[in-house]
Amino acid sequence: MRQETVLYIGGGPRAREHNYVRQLLGMVAAGELALVPGQVTHVDVYHDHDCPALSGGVCDCEPDVRLRGDPRCN
């Protein structure tokens, strides 16, 4: 039986256009964000104050993306 890994990233039909999605995928590729099959990983995305994503647009800023539970998020 073949086993697949699925990475779900919210953001609607235009998710791939958001800078934060590209950043998340880059973090996964670089090993900075470890994903464990069968588990949910939460991240916090801190957008710039003028990012269009905060008003329903597409993220075009360079947000801080942190793994939930990271001490820097407290």
All structural domains of the chain with their residue ranges: 12-73
pLDDT of residue 41: 82
**Rounded to the nearest 5 degrees, what angle is found at the Cα of 13, between the Cα atoms of 11 and 61?**
45
- Tell me: the pLDDT tens digits for 2-40? 655 666 666 666 777 888 888 888 888 898 887 777 788
- Tell me: the pLDDT tens digits for 39-56? 888 888 899 999 998 998
pLDDT of residue 6: 61
Q: How far lies 30's CA from each of 7, 27, 51, 52, in Å? A: 15, 5, 25, 27
pLDDT of residue 52: 93
**Tokens at 57, concatenated:** 């647009």
pTM of this structure: 0.69
